[in-house]
Structure 1
Amino acid sequence: MKPAPFGYARPGDWPEALSLLRDGARPLAGGQSLGPMLNLRLAQPATVIDLRHLPGFAGVAVQDGYCRIGAGTSHAEIEDGAIPGRLGAILAGVARRIAYRAVRNRGTIGGSLAHADPAADWVAVLPCFDGAAIALGASGERRIPLADFVLGLMETALRPDEVLRAIELPVLPPEARWGHWKFCRKPGEFSKATACVLAVPGEPPRAVLAALDMPPLVIADAGALLAAPEAEAARIVAGLALRDPWRAALVRTALHRAALAAWEMEE
């Protein structure tokens, strides 16, 4: 299929982009999600706003213990080491397993998060960090905790007149432990179950269980999961009331293996 006719706008600055957004235009980052939706006519905006050339939309800056990642930063840039330190190593490992390199060259971290597909990698991983999504609207920037950003299927906490401008994550010490496991039937496919665990010295470990056809399940204190990975994973998944036994087994395995990966790093 071909998309329905739409206009194309390339704003010169953020105020112009926000003005177009208020008029009902649809923002475009890398186009790896919006493009197929346009072709299938699942999305039929009157105008598409190309954000890729706006200042600060892509790039990485570290200041005051936080790493600010522009929403337009591509998966490939993250994979190739754009983010420094332990945090960068963790995110590069996640980015490396997103789809294929051709997709990673164009797809962006912010576009993926704002699209809010429950099986997407950044939707699953970013809530594990005690960070924030930076929304930009007419009144300026607004910080939204990443754990509260995705509200439902393809639904986020962004207001109609806001655009996702950046993601802010805490810089991690070298000792931070990380476990991540996702199941795809073949390379490049969306995950059927994703889990990750982050343990930072001096802080409660955090965990996320995602690709559940609902918002990610954020476990703010995953100490019990690291202490008894198999038993605690079974207890958590039993409370989700998943209809299919195979799905419950897959989700339980994802959480168990992510916890084991983080726990084994301590050895």
Structure 2
Amino acid sequence: MISKLAYVHPDAKLGANVTVEPFACIAGDVVIGDGCWIGPGAVIHDGARIGKGCKIHTAASIACLPQDLKFAGEVTTAEIGDYNDIREYVTISRGTASRGKTVVGDHNLIMAYVHIAHDDVVGNHCVIANRVSLAGEVEVGDWCVIGGHVAVHQWVRIGAHAMVQGGALVGKDIPPYVIVRNDTLRFAGINKIGLSRRGFTPQRIGEIHDACRILFQSGLNYLAGCEEVERQIPQSDDRDALLQFIRSSQRGIIKPYAADAEKA
């Protein structure tokens, strides 16, 4: 159902059973999949590619122009996957010449006032809480939880299954599986509850814990810690994902655990 009070450009491609509520605005270079709901006052700009079953709530803005002084009007996209719940006043910019597209995967909950900037890549099954701001070219892995009012610096990577406490200012890469403190941006343990909920066995969780204990609590620098993990922890996809993430970091990794963070 398309409300008579909404504007839908004749060139826009809408799938079956799409609902467009009053005062929504949909531009011409737009594709929206089956079963989507576009809420009152939402704006879907040129370059939006939205999968099926998504809910775009009141006054959200999808594929808006990048907030980047280098942007020169190039044709780019914002690609949103399936079954995302994008809440009120969320802004998702389209890409720039850097990557050409901003990407949000499937089954994400993106809460009110979140900003996802140009060329970001957000995985699947993430929860991004109210007023989180992701700067340009940030990468967020699958199953991440980012607490409210977190600000993430440009080019930062957040690994899969990580949890960031609300209010953190994130300027370094966050490895997979870990919890990060909001006051000192230090390792605060592994995301044991989240991993358990996602079907990780106690053995997998134990091996991840042992690897992180070496990396973040042994006093070794991270490169030496990676070598020690390879010596002590059996090879697995989880272990290798953690080590590859750390070794490929360009911005540096969060600080290790400290019993007295104020003194560290």
TM-score above 0.5, yes or no:
no
Q: TM-score, normalised by structure 2?
A: 0.32
Q: TM-score, normalised by structure 1?
A: 0.32
Higher helix share: 1
